[in-house]
């Protein structure tokens, strides 16, 4: 049986969004988003006909409307077994007005532009292309959906939890009579991931059915909700620290902040938290915090594991760009595998919106004289080069304002190279960097700050950069290998060398002239690079070569003046990824991964770049930034990199973990938590809790682990919540990763993400952390 945890009791919140109050009606959510009476919302609730576009020949009118839960879109379907279909607003990534999708651009005419819009989903679900009957209706659909999505994102943790529980209650109310029978209550408990025996379910039901009517309604449902969400662990923590008449005074709260949360805080900070989060006016008047206010505080960003100060750009952005790790994508155009998957501008949009700052363009001659992007010599689909540049221009700086590197892998003939240059110049305009920022030959890279909002081209160049400041010309268009072939040159096999010779191409001056700070050159060894390579000349390494160098030499540290790029091996036909951590440890700035593939490696990448305002640039530790550093991640000699820490973690509980098998109502998860450290080899470690049987709603572990950390500046912490299975591999429930330097000590809530990196709205872990100097 499952024991309920402790109630949230008060249902009001400190934000302007009206809270859910499951007191009298299980079918109305009209006020949760603060949109009561909103004209666009009312329009969506009525709904209307939209033309769904799948191809030039498949264009069908379908009815769409917002369900009365304000969180689900219903649409008719003419499939035999799926006459009525729904999708959750939670699953929507974005709504884009106009013909912004590839489907609408291809299958509709320009004159319907103002009536078109597309709904893009999280994950791999195909986007929905729609045409409204009028410009005004298109506007109302887009505005209404955007309002709901925006306000859903503003929900605090408590509201999100209430929203989720309330929706599950509504679904369990099969006959829509706003009451819950015992049978419906048991169905509801299974929906929220709790398996209870018959006796306990009856006991809980009887306790709440004070009217003895055989159903729960109104205040009885509120009572049931309170019992269900009761959190004993919060009771214990609060009672330990509430030393003033059973409540927390401002001084009690300050003591908690100083001693338990290890924050640099003052009495004014404690008073500010009381003013912000206390729900009881009489307690607030006495400068006290009740248990409800305390829980509210713990569920806000101040109580999050992630340091709120790191949600903004907080690092020095005025250093040369080679002093930063740069979030980077490989074969950015691919949505799936490397052999036959689709190429799409959408793949670039997704990567850029995840703050990727280096994207790859694999360029080939296309039909009708227009260059295309695809994975050469494979069955992957093609996308026009100019369409990719348009998408990059539109979305490059929506998440981060810092520079984007366009890494060209050029296989085009001279004429189409000239067209590539023309497209980039005309589409990117003044944002395209076409000359050094300085008035004279630079000797070092500019900074991300100086390059804000700019595009940097990475590729081959016919001459040295100082030619920009002289009248010298490269003369004729010269022979040049593509980057792919240059990478092959780093391998000493005879076959690779022969392939390289076959694939030499000529380079157009117009394209060459656009390469300023990122000139691709063949790597001939570190000594050669040290003596002959200009600071702006950079090399790319296949992962196997890079990992081998990282394990056998402290190579990037001595290569500090140069940018270097790592990319996945060609044998990764499924677009799988390699572990980026050893390459970051070695100091490599551009570690390119397949962004389209959910994996542990992509979790680590998103974790690495989660801080510093999602800028896509992370300043490397000082010991990785100066020439002559003796730091070696493999052998860890004494030096400024050693900052020995004892890291204590208690995994206390989890809340509202999602069901994994929604098709099987009686399927309940058996969660366990893995705690992983990634960093230098000496710090890399993993530990896990026991599994909790049949409880995904409020499992409790109270298990403590300790880790010994040598180089905290390179370490990352990853939580992995899995559904235990004795006979097969555990299934992923959720994960979260962040740099050790960005976590907050003390009692903290940890958000959980899906396999594809989207926030699971209602779920989380509750932990206690202490990162202390080792004795």
594 is in an annotated binding site: no
Q: Is the dihedral of CA 342, 348, 353, 355 positive or negative?
A: positive
From 67, 330, 411, 768, active-site residue = 330
The CA-based dihedral angle spanning residues 668, 673, 674, 679, taken in that order and rounded to the nearest 10 degrees = 130
Active site residue 368: no
460 is in an annotated binding site: yes
Of 317, 307, 308, 312, the closest CA to residue 617 belongs to: 317
603 is in an annotated binding site: no
From 187, 375, 423, 768, active-site residue = 375
CA distance 464 to 518: 12
CA distance 511 to 457: 9
> DSSP strand E in 411-559: where?
455-459, 479-480, 505-506, 515-520, 537-542
670 is in an annotated binding site: yes
Look at phi and psi of residue 107 and say left if phi exceeds 0, alpha if psi is from -120 to 50, else beta. Answer: alpha
360 is in an annotated binding site: yes
483 is in an annotated binding site: no
CA end-to-end span of the chain: 43
560 is in an annotated binding site: no
Furthest-apart CA atoms within the chain: distance in Å? 95
Report how far apart, in Å, the C-alpha atoms of 86 and of each of 75, 89, 90, 137, 465 are. Answer: 6, 10, 12, 20, 57
773 is in an annotated binding site: no
638 is in an annotated binding site: no
Length of the chain: 775
337 is in an annotated binding site: no
C-beta neighbour count of 571 within 10 angstroms: 11
151 is in an annotated binding site: no
Question: For residue 322, what are its two tokens?
Answer: 């080679």
502 is in an annotated binding site: no
CA distance 156 to 20: 12
Per the CB < 8 A criterion, the answer to whether 381 and 359 are in contact is no
Report how far apart, in Å, the C-alpha atoms of 242 and of each of 234, 572, 702, 746, 767 are. Answer: 12, 56, 22, 17, 20
CA distance 630 to 449: 29
C-beta neighbour count of 21 within 10 angstroms: 16
Per the CB < 8 A criterion, the answer to whether 324 and 448 are in contact is yes
723 is in an annotated binding site: yes
Active site residue 375: yes
Burial class (CB in 10 A: 0-12, 13-18, 19+), 473: exposed
* Sequential DSSP letters for 352-388: HHTT--EEEEEEE--GGG--EES-TTSS---EEHHHH
725 is in an annotated binding site: yes
**Known binding positions for substrate:** 458, 460, 540, 565
List, as residue ranges, the binding site for Ca(2+).
331, 360, 362, 409, 668, 670, 694, 723-725
Binding residues, as ranges, are 331, 360, 362, 409, 458, 460, 540, 565, 668, 670, 694, 723-725
Active site residues: 330, 375
């Amino acid at each position: 049986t499952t024991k309920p945890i402790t109630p949230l009791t008060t249902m009001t919140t400190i934000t302007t969004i009206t809270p859910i109050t499951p007191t009298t009606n299980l079918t109305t959510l009209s006020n949760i988003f603060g949109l009561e009476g909103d004209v666009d919302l009312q329009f969506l609730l009525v709904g209307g006909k939209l033309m769904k576009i799948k191809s030039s020949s498949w264009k069908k009118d379908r009815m769409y409307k917002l369900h009365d839960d304000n969180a689900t879109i219903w649409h008719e379907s003419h499939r035999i077994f799926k006459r009525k279909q729904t999708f959750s607003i939670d699953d929507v990534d974005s709504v884009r007005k106009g013909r912004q999708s590839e489907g609408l651009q291809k299958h509709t005419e320009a004159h319907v532009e103002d009536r078109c819009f597309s709904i893009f989903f999280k994950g791999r679900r195909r986007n929905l292309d729609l045409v409204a009957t009028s410009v005004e209706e298109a506007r109302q659909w887009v505005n209404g959906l955007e309002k709901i999505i925006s306000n859903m994102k503003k929900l605090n943790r408590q509201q999100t939890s209430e929203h989720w529980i309330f929706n599950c209650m509504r679904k369990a109310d099969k006959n829509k009579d706003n009451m819950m029978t015992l049978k419906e209550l048991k169905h509801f408990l299974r929906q929220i991931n709790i398996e209870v025996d018959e006796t306990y379910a009856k006991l809980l039901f009887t306790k709440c059915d004070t009217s003895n009517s055989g159903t729960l309604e109104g205040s009885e449902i509120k009572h049931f909700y309170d019992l269900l969400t009761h959190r004993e662990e919060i009771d214990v923590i609060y009672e330990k620290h509430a030393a003033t008449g059973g409540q927390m005074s401002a001084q009690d709260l300050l003591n908690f902040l100083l001693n338990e949360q290890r924050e640099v805080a003052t009495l004014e900070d404690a008073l500010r938290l009381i003013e912000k989060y206390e729900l009881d006016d009489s307690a607030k008047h006495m400068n006290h915090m009740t248990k409800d206010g305390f829980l509210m505080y713990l569920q806000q960003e101040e109580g999050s594991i992630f340091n709120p100060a790191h949600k903004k750009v907080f690092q020095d952005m005025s250093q040369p760009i080679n002093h930063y790790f740069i979030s980077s994508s490989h074969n950015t155009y691919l949505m799936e595998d490397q052999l036959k998957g689709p190429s799409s501008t959408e793949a670039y949009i997704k990567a850029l919106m995840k703050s990727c700052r280096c994207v790859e363009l694999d360029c080939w001659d296309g039909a009708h004289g227009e260059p295309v992007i695809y994975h050469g010599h494979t069955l992957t689909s093609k996308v026009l080069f100019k369409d990719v540049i348009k998408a990059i221009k539109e979305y490059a700086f929506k998440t981060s304002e810092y520079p984007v590197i366009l890494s060209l892998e050029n296989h085009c003939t001279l004429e189409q190279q000239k067209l590539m240059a023309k497209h980039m110049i005309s589409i990117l305009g003044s944002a395209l960097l076409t000359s050094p920022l300085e008035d004279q030959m630079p000797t070092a890279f500019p900074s991300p700050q100086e390059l804000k909002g700019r595009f940097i081209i990475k590729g081959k160049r016919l001459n040295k950069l100082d030619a920009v400041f002289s009248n010298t010309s490269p003369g004729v268009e010269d022979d040049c290998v593509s980057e792919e072939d240059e990478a092959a040159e780093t391998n000493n096999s005879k076959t690779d060398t022969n392939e390289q010779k076959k694939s030499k191409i000529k380079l157009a001056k117009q394209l060459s002239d656009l390469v300023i700070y990122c000139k691709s050159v063949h790597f001939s060894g570190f000594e050669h690079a040290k003596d002959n390579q200009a600071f702006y000349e950079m090399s790319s390494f296949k992962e196997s070569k890079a990992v081998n160098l990282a394990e056998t030499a402290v190579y990037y540290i001595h290569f500090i003046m140069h940018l270097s790029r790592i990319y996945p091996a060609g044998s990764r036909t499924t677009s799988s990824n390699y572990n980026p951590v050893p390459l970051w440890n070695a100091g490599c700035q551009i570690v390119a991964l397949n962004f389209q593939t959910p994996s542990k490696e992509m979790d680590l990448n998103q974790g690495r770049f989660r801080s510093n305002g999602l800028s896509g640039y992370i300043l490397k530790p000082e010991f990785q930034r100066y020439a002559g550093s003796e730091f070696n991640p493999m052998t860890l000699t004494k030096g400024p990199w050693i900052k020995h820490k004892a890291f204590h973690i208690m995994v206390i509980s989890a809340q509202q973990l999602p069901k994994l098998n929604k098709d099987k109502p009686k399927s309940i998860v058996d969660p366990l938590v893995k705690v992983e450290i990634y960093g230098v080899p000496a710090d890399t470690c993993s530990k896990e809790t026991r599994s909790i049987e049949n409880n995904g709603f409020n499992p409790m572990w109270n298990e403590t682990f300790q880790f010994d950390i040598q180089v905290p500046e390179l370490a990352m912490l990853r939580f992995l919540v899995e559904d235990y299975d004795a006979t097969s591999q555990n299934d992923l429930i959720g994960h979260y990763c962040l740099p050790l330097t960005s976590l907050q000590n003390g009692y903290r809530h940890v958000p959980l993400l899906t396999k594809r990196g989207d926030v699971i709205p209602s779920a989380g872990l509750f932990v206690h952390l202490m990162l202390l100097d080792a004795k």
